[in-house]
Amino acid sequence: MAFEIPTAEDLGLYLDLEEIGGDRAALLIRQAINLCQTVVKPLPEGAEAVVLSVAGRAYTNPQQVSYETIGPMSVQRPTGSGGLYLTKADKSALKSLAGRGGAFTVDPTPETADPSPTWPIDDAGFADEFEPGWGYT
């Protein structure tokens, strides 16, 4: 199954909102997809969660307000809790979903490599010359 573009209704359900501005939500989802594609393109299956997370942050706090006071009530939000951006966790999740997040090995040996020795050997299987101290004459 491939990546499926989330809908405005999906974003409303994700944010637990009874009503959601469809045009604004669709715009934020498109922008979130574009932002996610700067890390992984094409987006892998399961990237819908990251797209909804990015769009949800921007939908609920578009001006990136960190502190707000209305009458006797005040609210302080974490720094960077609004606007369209990818967190380090978002980038890591996208890479992991695409299969690019783990360790890997690279074998630098060419396929044409020959395992036989490249130094000269005599009939007994020993090199012609030895360094002093090895016990051979």
pLDDT at 131: 65
pLDDT at 35: 93
pLDDT at 126: 58
pLDDT at 30: 94
3-state secondary structure labels for all residues of the chain:
CCCCCCCHHHHHHHCCCCCCCHHHHHHHHHHHHHHHCCCCCCCCCCCHHHHHHHHHHHHHCCCCCCEEEECCEEEECCCCCCCCCCCHHHHHHHHHHCCCCCCCCCCCCCCCCCCCCCCCECCCCCECCCCCCCCCC
Consecutive 10-residue averages of pLDDT for the chain (137 residues): 88 90 92 93 92 90 70 72 80 89 79 76 59 62
pLDDT at 70: 82
User: What is this structure's pTM?
Assistant: 0.63
Q: Where are the domains of the chain?
A: 8-97
